Amino acid sequence: MVKRWITKPIPDQEIVESLSKSINVNPYLATLLVQRGVTTFDEAKHFFRPMMSHLHDPFLMKDMDKAIARLHAAISNEEKILVYGDYDVDGTTSVALVYSYLKSFYPNCDFYIPDRSKEGYGVSKEGIIWAEENGFSLIIALDLGIKSADMVSMADHKGIDFIICDHHLPGDQMPQAVAVLDPKRSDCQYPYPELSGCGLGFKLLHAYARKHRDESELAKYIDLVAVSIASDIVPVNGENRTLAYYGLQKLNNNPLPGLKALIEISGNKNELDISGVVFTLGPRINAAGRVSHARFAVELLIAKTEEEATALAEKINIKNDQRREFDLTITDEAIGMIESDENVLRAKTTVLYKETWHKGVIGIVASRCIEKFYRPTVILTSSNDMITGSARSVKDFDLHQAISSCSDLLEKFGGHKYAAGLTMSKENLVAFQQRFEQVVSSTITEDMLIPVIEIDLELPLSAITPKFRSVLKQMAPFGPENHKPVFQSGEVFVKNSLSAFKDKHIRFLAAQKDDEAVVNVVGFDMMEHYERLTRGERFTMAYTVEENTYNGITSLQLRLKDIKFD
């Protein structure tokens, strides 16, 4: 697939020069920092040395004072508190965080996760009835609830109060809860709106601890917040960067028993970064809710002993293997459906439906289809006599807005710019396919339909030294809004050692000038370039800088993202 390279603007050179001198780094590194909004010595210190004291006062969030007052009243009056969360990684880590913290000093609480296939997304009627039957008078909703005004009203009539902690965009009707903590509320002035659901749960506990307990107790659970930030693909800047920084430290040095068991069962031997969490822990935690019930994931995350955690992790790993099988089978079917229909192949969108597809993996399948066809994609299946599905988008295209334009055809929908969930009646399927294609076609540009590689800056290979790599490492954790820097180098040629491995990857030593030192380059799934590289053609490459450890020896390595021949 052809990719579009976009080079970020070069910032003001006076600012770059000033920063370069003040923190003693070369102009290339200073440029990267200025591109990320770091322009002064103090900002650089803040960036390279995140501190928990940098977190905002939780009471700056709209309704936080009401939430803490109601929570404290429930604890003082020995009411039963139900911690209620979504079935994905963000939801289950949120529940594990809040439940574990409360349970450590207050026994009168429990947790509830809706069944993905039977209850669907959001606060469910079944959940409210269960809470009433079991005598709960306060529900703390995590990573959901902002669009559950009807369910909150139903609970209110049953004498059950709600505290909502949700980071999704509010709908037209705000739930009439005791407190609605959502920094995306138009009337909320909280300085950082991009917290994960678990991050919001952390802020609730931060506020409670500040007023009624010891804030240091929260450090025990910070690795859960890092897992949610990584898995929910929220920006890794501001407060999220600080929480992820400390959460990853704990994850790699002293994780909770459940997370430790997952790391061990995944076979991971490397230090986990944001990407490592996304590809090793996230899918396993998600697997419980996708092919069974997410309650198992919470039980793992709140496990107190390593023995208990290991037994639960083994069961969840089996679920993950099942999830992977469903994922691969359905992806093959979906790609086959696209390739066998000329109209679907030529469309600007993909909207596919099959009633037997497993509801738990259709979001993953949507992402896989985008990897191959790169366009807004909706994968649908049958659930409870309705059609339900997951949607994913491409860079810069607002999927949520496009789905909103089809809202009259939907029973419910919700999500973000790049990911959403939706439910409709079966008779509206064809109308939705047609409308969604029409809306997207009229608003998406041709450029948006070409995958993008964002280049931070052009770099001579001679600039890539161990010190350069050392400073780059300190810019982590990397993720959205603080991506691992991508560089471009031109007039490159293969100096020697070109080889192919596993019939699809390439490796070689590259240089820009005959008399300069060479650098090791690896390109995964780039076998199509092998022939031209053997002919000695010069090229421009886009790549990231990383370390490769082999037989105990660590060396610099460039990982290719794309090649353009000169």
Whether 444 and 561 map to the same domain: the answer is: no
Residues 181 and 166 sit within 8 Å (Cβ to Cβ): yes
Which of 401, 425, 449 marks a domain boundary? Answer: 449
Which of 317, 350, 378 marks a domain boundary? Answer: 317
Specify if 18 maps to a domain. no
Whether 401 and 529 map to the same domain: the answer is: no
Specify if 212 maps to a domain. yes
Per the prediction, the chain carries an average pLDDT of 94
**What pLDDT, on a 0 to 100 scale, did the predictor assign at position 559?**
97
Which residues have C-beta within 8 Å of that of residue 187, sequence separation ≥ 6? Answer: 62
Expressed in angstroms, the distance from the first to the final Cα of the chain is: 18
- Give the structural domain span for 398: 341-449
- Element containing residue 431 per DSSP (H, E): helix 429-443
Neighbours of 251 (CB within 10 A): 26
The rounded Cα 285 to chain-centroid distance in angstroms is 13
pLDDT one-digit tens code per residue, 489-524: 999 999 999 999 998 999 999 999 877 878 999 999
Whether 355 and 267 map to the same domain: the answer is: no
pLDDT one-digit tens code per residue, 406-458: 999 999 888 778 888 999 999 999 999 999 999 999 999 999 999 999 999 99
Answer positive or negative: Cα dihedral of 434, 436, 437, 438: positive
Answer positive or negative: Cα dihedral of 535, 537, 541, 543: positive
Give the span between the Cα atoms of 371 and 337, in whole angstroms: 16
Give the span between the Cα atoms of 31 and 6, in whole angstroms: 16
Whether 106 and 175 map to the same domain: the answer is: yes
Specify if 327 maps to a domain. no
pLDDT one-digit tens code per residue, 344-395: 999 999 999 999 998 888 989 999 999 999 999 999 999 888 999 999 999 9
Specify if 183 maps to a domain. yes
Whether 111 and 164 map to the same domain: the answer is: yes
Instruction: Compute the radius of gyration of the chain from its Cα atoms.
Output: 25
| Strand 4-7 versus strand 452-455 pairing type | parallel
Give the span between the Cα atoms of 191 and 174, in whole angstroms: 21
Mean pLDDT of the region 260-265? 96
Specify if 331 maps to a domain. no
The rounded Cα 206 to chain-centroid distance in angstroms is 23
Read off the CATH number of the domain in which 407 is found: 3.10.310.30
Whether 168 and 280 map to the same domain: the answer is: yes
Which of 317, 351, 386 marks a domain boundary? Answer: 317
Domain tally for the chain? 3
Read off the CATH number of the domain in which 309 is found: 3.90.1640.30
Give the span between the Cα atoms of 298 and 294, in whole angstroms: 7
Give the span between the Cα atoms of 505 and 492, in whole angstroms: 19
Per-residue pLDDT band at 482 (split at 50, 70, 90):
very high
Please check the confidence at residue 273 and state whether its pLDDT lies above 90. Answer: yes
Give the span between the Cα atoms of 76 and 4, in whole angstroms: 59
Read off the CATH number of the domain in which 466 is found: 2.40.50.460
SS3 of 52, please? helix
Whether 155 and 197 map to the same domain: the answer is: yes
Own/partner long-range contacts of 155-160 (Cβ < 8 Å, ≥24 apart): 155/123, 155/128, 155/131, 158/128, 158/131, 158/132, 160/128, 160/131, 160/132, 160/136
Specify if 429 maps to a domain. yes
Per-residue pLDDT band at 550 (split at 50, 70, 90):
confident
Whether 275 and 367 map to the same domain: the answer is: no
Whether 419 and 470 map to the same domain: the answer is: no
Whether 283 and 404 map to the same domain: the answer is: no
- Element containing residue 46 per DSSP (H, E): helix 41-48
Specify if 28 maps to a domain. no
**Cα torsion for 546, 418, 319, 336, to the nearest 10°?**
-100
Specify if 334 maps to a domain. no
pLDDT one-digit tens code per residue, 50-97: 999 999 999 999 999 999 999 999 999 999 999 999 999 999 999 999
Strand partners, 423: 388, 412
Q: Compute the C-alpha angle 363/368/369, nearest 5°.
A: 95
Whether 228 and 114 map to the same domain: the answer is: yes
Whether 189 and 132 map to the same domain: the answer is: yes
Q: Strands of 397-552 (E only): list them.
A: 412-415, 419-424, 452-455, 457-458, 487-501, 505-511, 519-523, 539-550
Higher local confidence (pLDDT), 182 or 291: 182
Please check the confidence at residue 538 and state whether its pLDDT lies above 90. Answer: yes
Neighbours of 228 (CB within 10 A): 35
Longest CA–CA separation in the chain, Å: 79
